[in-house]
Amino acid sequence: MKIPETIGTLTMVVLLGLAAAAQQKQAPAHPNGGGASPGASAAPMMVVDSFTHDFGEVKAGTPLRFAFKIKNEGKADLLINGVSPG
């Protein structure tokens, strides 16, 4: 019977689609909670111009590089302890 396999496959596709859609909506511009309140002016505040970059069509084996611009608009030091590719 192929009906259970088809239902299982469709369920997995829907769940993966929902997970991908949820991840696309989670791109905070200010990881420290958004706008600074008057009492939190001493905290660091990371601001990133863009969280994504599209290289367009690229031939296989072509090395790619892009620098994301990150600013600290807070008063304290901004410590970035780790970075990983997405």
In a domain, 86, yes or no: no
Number of domains the chain is built from: 1
> Residue 53 domain-assigned?
yes
* Chain segment 46-82, per-residue pLDDT in tens: 999 998 899 999 999 999 999 989 999 999 999 989 8
Tell me the Cα Rg of the chain. Answer: 20
Q: In terms of residue numbers, what domain contains 65?
A: 3-72
48 three-class SS: strand
The reply to whether 82 falls in a domain is: no
- Average pLDDT taken over every residue of the chain: 74
Look at residue 37 and tell me if it is in a domain: yes
| Domain contains 7 | yes
Q: Is residue 81 part of a domain?
A: no
Residue 28 maps to a domain? yes
Verdict on whether the full-model pTM lies above 0.75 = no
